[in-house]
């Protein structure tokens, strides 16, 4: 392998940052309190329709669709997604997908950049695995019809924060995810062995004898269905919606980690929520991400007085990693007593800016902002969840029969901070691996249309009606205030106390549709995020503790794991 490159990258990293990179990380076990019922709703196998498939994929973003496309045609695949196939974090991706694609780039350099961004917590072998596969996986996308932007015949590559060279392929200027998902959905639709159920919500995984056997799903037309699968792949994406300020679409409510936690899977790295530094901040607009490719192309960050402030915080200035830029912006907002800073592109050539960022230009135009002449108001927002299900290199979770890929997992690629544009790549690589691994296992199992007796199909629970929107808004505000870009023990403890109280009366309730189930999942993951953030008494990557402002490599070069007792 591999070892040579890993060692080279590690050595380069040590030389560049003056840190010692440990050969492996050490797990740190924690058991979270068990106030969560095993199943959110009751069901009786005699009163619910059944469906049988070889492989069940939960989630229709890039990871889920890529997984489905890995299943050979002789096996049946069902993909369910709680919204439409075009509505996911993947479809929203702007900047692009990173890979070793240009003649001046090397696998070792991409590994080094990823490891350096990851704050000494990456799994080096995973980083190497993903980077090595990058050109092959991106090549597959091209062969399936994805039209990446080009300079003549060559891919037009851009550079983003933390990357040492131009290695980000993009499409439609700043709508890379939209174009990738268009091509991948088309491929899925043309594959007869793949069935898709949109607007279908996975409430819980079904387990029997500690193995995953499928999922309890719901849709508005048919109500509950028990989907029995020989192997199940969880690809439910992110968790950004637990924060008031987020770039994530409304599907990103952390369902996957919560569902998996209830089913006994082990989770990791829940304290690491990456905040995107530049989210559009205009009253009345949704919190749209302003891609960091803009800074890559020369945009500057200035405060309300017009002063460029990033060089005060880091010598890489606007191209410093995301955690550094987010932290600097929050500090500058505090210094200037102002709710935002600005991105300034007015010094760049206007036509080139409009051609490179057509989507953002059109969006800002709706609010009477011309990005070539006006400053764009921005502030940080929750963007990417690094934590999630523990998976091995094939995408196998800690529960037999359950696989996972994409943002719902903690694969070890990102460490304590994700390098920009590495997540679409991770979704592709791990989606492919999980699909292949699950197919291999499913092929070994004979068809059997019997239904096992489940341990605890739940009991009817009820209570006073609750104002779910009120609790959801309160949770999002509390998470933003107390568990945001900067954290400390007092604020985390206050958040834990409030959320613990809400959990006590919301989690045991029985709800009839996704509004309630999503809130229960959001409470579950928020509680785990806070427990991990309280536990990690240091600052590392995107986890910034103002009461422990330094990185503590002696005690904290390890992970925090959770599993339901």
Q: Known catalytic residues?
A: 322
Q: Minimum distance from CB of 269 to ligand FAD (Å)? A: 14
Reading the block at residue 352, the tokens are: 């080139």
53-92 positions binding ligand FAD, by CB under 6 A: 58-64, 80-83, 88-90, 92
Q: Minimum distance from CB of 154 to ligand FAD (Å)? A: 20
Nearer to ligand FAD, 238 or 277 (CB): 238
Q: Of the candidates 215, 198, 196, which has an alpha carbon nearest to the alpha carbon of residue 206?
A: 215
Nearer to ligand FAD, 167 or 527 (CB): 167
302-341 positions binding ligand FAD, by CB under 6 A: none
Q: Minimum distance from CB of 361 to ligand FAD (Å)? A: 16
Binding segment for ligand FAD (CB under 6 A), chosen from 23-31, 330-338, 342-350, 419-427, is 419-427
Q: Can you tell me the distance from the alpha carbon of 144 to that of 65, in angstroms, rounded to the nearest whole number?
A: 13
- Using CB under 6 A as the binding rule, whether residue 415 contacts ligand FAD is answered as no
Whole-angstrom CA distances from 371 to 7, 109, 318 are 44, 33, 18
Nearer to ligand FAD, 427 or 530 (CB): 427
Reading the block at residue 255, the tokens are: 């369902």
Phi, psi of 110 (to 5 degrees): -65, -40
Q: What is the CA radius of gyration of the chain?
A: 23
Asked if 194 contacts 188 with a C-beta cutoff of 8 angstroms, the reply is: yes
Nearer to ligand FAD, 120 or 236 (CB): 236
Asked if 394 contacts 69 with a C-beta cutoff of 8 angstroms, the reply is: no
Q: Can you tell me the distance from the alpha carbon of 192 to that of 86, in angstroms, rounded to the nearest whole number?
A: 20
Nearer to ligand FAD, 201 or 309 (CB): 201
Q: Minimum distance from CB of 284 to ligand FAD (Å)? A: 18
Asked if 509 contacts 516 with a C-beta cutoff of 8 angstroms, the reply is: yes
Q: 106 Cβ partners below 8 Å, 6+ apart?
A: 100
Q: Can you tell me the distance from the alpha carbon of 12 to that of 312, in angstroms, rounded to the nearest whole number?
A: 26
Contact with ligand FAD (CB under 6 A): which of 36, 69, 95, 301? Answer: 95
Q: Minimum distance from CB of 75 to ligand FAD (Å)? A: 21
Tell me whether residue 13 is exposed, middle or buried, using C-beta atoms within 10 angstroms of its C-beta: 0 to 12, 13 to 18, 19 or more: buried
Q: How many residues bind ligand FAD (CB under 6 A)?
A: 42
Q: Minimum distance from CB of 330 to ligand FAD (Å)? A: 20
- Using CB under 6 A as the binding rule, whether residue 382 contacts ligand FAD is answered as no
Nearer to ligand FAD, 322 or 545 (CB): 322
Q: How many CA atoms lie within 13 A of 420 on its CB side?
A: 34
Q: 362 Cβ partners below 8 Å, 6+ apart?
A: none
Contact with ligand FAD (CB under 6 A): which of 70, 114, 421, 482? Answer: 421
Contact with ligand FAD (CB under 6 A): which of 21, 40, 97, 376? Answer: 97
- The neighbouring-strand residues paired with 382 are 246, 275
Binding segment for ligand FAD (CB under 6 A), chosen from 13-21, 23-31, 319-327, 420-428, is 420-428
Sign of CA dihedral 549, 242, 63, 384: negative
| For the chain, the helix, strand and coil percentages under 3-state DSSP, each to the nearest 5 | 35, 20, 45
Q: Minimum distance from CB of 163 to ligand FAD (Å)? A: 12
Contact with ligand FAD (CB under 6 A): which of 69, 233, 289, 506? Answer: 289
Q: Can you tell me the distance from the alpha carbon of 70 to that of 57, in angstroms, rounded to the nearest whole number?
A: 11
- x/- letters, 529..558, toward ligand FAD (CB under 6 A): ------------------------------
Nearer to ligand FAD, 407 or 538 (CB): 407
Q: Minimum distance from CB of 137 to ligand FAD (Å)? A: 12
207-236 positions binding ligand FAD, by CB under 6 A: 235-236
Q: Can you tell me the distance from the alpha carbon of 10 to that of 535, in angstroms, rounded to the nearest whole number?
A: 27
Q: What angle do CA 114, 117, 120 make, to 5 degrees?
A: 95
Binding segment for ligand FAD (CB under 6 A), chosen from 48-56, 94-102, 469-477, 544-552, is 94-102
- x/- letters, 236..255, toward ligand FAD (CB under 6 A): xxx--------xx--x---x
Q: Can you tell me the distance from the alpha carbon of 531 to that of 500, in angstroms, rounded to the nearest whole number?
A: 11
- Using CB under 6 A as the binding rule, whether residue 424 contacts ligand FAD is answered as yes
- Using CB under 6 A as the binding rule, whether residue 202 contacts ligand FAD is answered as yes
Contact with ligand FAD (CB under 6 A): which of 427, 429, 438, 560? Answer: 427
Output b/e per residue, 73-89; b: 16+ Cβ within 10 A. Answer: eebbbbbbbbbebebbb
| Torsion, Cα of 71, 76, 82, 84 (10° steps) | 80
Q: Can you tell me the distance from the alpha carbon of 406 to that of 61, in angstroms, rounded to the nearest whole number?
A: 9
Q: Minimum distance from CB of 344 to ligand FAD (Å)? A: 21
Q: Minimum distance from CB of 426 to ligand FAD (Å)? A: 8
What stretch of H or E contains 525?
Answer: helix 514-535
Nearer to ligand FAD, 384 or 548 (CB): 384
540: DSSP letter: B
158-187 positions binding ligand FAD, by CB under 6 A: 176-177
Give me the residues that bind ligand FAD (CB under 6 A), please.
58-64, 80-83, 88-90, 92-97, 176-177, 201-202, 235-238, 247-248, 251, 255, 289, 384, 406-408, 421-424, 427
């Amino acid at each position: 392998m591999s070892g040579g490159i890993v060692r080279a990258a590690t050595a380069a990293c040590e030389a560049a940052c003056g840190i010692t990179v440990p050969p492996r990380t050490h797990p740190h076990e924690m058991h979270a309190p068990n106030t969560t019922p095993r199943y959110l709703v009751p069901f009786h196998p005699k009163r619910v329709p059944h469906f049988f498939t070889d492989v069940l994929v939960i989630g229709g973003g890039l990871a889920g669709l890529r997984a489905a496309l890995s299943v050979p045609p002789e096996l049946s695949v069902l993909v369910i997604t709680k919204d439409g196939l075009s509505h996911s974090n993947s479809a929203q991706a702007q900047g692009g997908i990173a890979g070793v694609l240009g003649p001046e780039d090397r696998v070792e350099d991409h590994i080094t950049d990823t490891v350096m961004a990851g704050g000494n917590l990456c799994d080096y072998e995973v980083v190497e695995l993903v980077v090595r596969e990058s050109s092959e996986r991106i090549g597959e996308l091209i062969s399936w019809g994805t039209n990446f932007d080009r300079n003549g015949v060559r891919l037009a590559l851009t550079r983003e924060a933390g990357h040492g060279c131009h290695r980000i392929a993009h499409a439609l200027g700043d709508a890379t995810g939209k174009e990738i998902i268009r091509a991948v959905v088309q491929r899925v639709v043309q594959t007869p062995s793949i069935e898709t159920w949109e607007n279908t919500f996975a409430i819980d995984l079904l387990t029997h004898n500690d193995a995953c056997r499928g999922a309890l799903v719901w849709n508005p037309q048919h109500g509950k269905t028990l989907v029995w699968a020989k192997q199940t792949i969880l690809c439910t994406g992110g968790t950004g919606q637990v924060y008031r300020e987020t770039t994530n679409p409304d599907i990103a409510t952390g369902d996957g980690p919560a569902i998996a936690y209830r089913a006994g899977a082990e989770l990791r790295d829940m304290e690491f929520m990456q905040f995107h530094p530049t989210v559009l901040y205009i009253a009345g607009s949704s919190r749209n991400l302003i891609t960091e490719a803009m800074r890559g192309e020369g945009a500057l960050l200035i405060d309300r007085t017009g002063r460029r402030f990033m060089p005060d915080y880091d010598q890489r200035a606007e191209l410093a990693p995301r955690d550094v830029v987010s932290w600097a912006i929050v500090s500058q907002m505090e210094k200037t007593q102002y709710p935002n800073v600005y991105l300034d592109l007015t010094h760049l050539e206007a036509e080139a800016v409009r051609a490179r960022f057509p989507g953002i230009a059109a969006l800002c135009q709706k609010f009477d902002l011309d990005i070539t002449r006006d400053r764009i108001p921005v502030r940080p927002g929750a963007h990417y969840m690094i934590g999630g299900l523990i998976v091995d290199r094939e995408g196998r979770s800690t529960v037999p029969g359950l696989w996972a890929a994409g943002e719902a997992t903690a694969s070890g690629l990102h460490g304590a901070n994700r390098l920009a544009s590495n997540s679409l790549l991770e979704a592709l690589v791990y989606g492919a691996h999980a699909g292949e691994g699950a197919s291999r296992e499913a092929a070994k199992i004979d068809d059997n249309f019997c239904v096992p007796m489940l341990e605890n199909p739940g009991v009817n629970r009820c209570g006073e009606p609750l104002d779910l929107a009120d609790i959801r808004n309160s949770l999002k505000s509390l998470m933003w205030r107390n568990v945001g870009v900067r954290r400390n023990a007092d604020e985390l403890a206050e958040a834990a106390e409030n959320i613990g109280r809400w959990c006590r009366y919301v989690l045991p309730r029985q709800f009839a549709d996704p509004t309630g189930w999503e809130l229960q999942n959001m409470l579950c993951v928020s509680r785990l995020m806070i427990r991990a953030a309280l536990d990690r008494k240091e600052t590392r990557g995107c986890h910034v503790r103002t009461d422990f402002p330094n990185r503590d490599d002696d005690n904290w070069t390890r992970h925090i794991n959770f599993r339901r007792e």
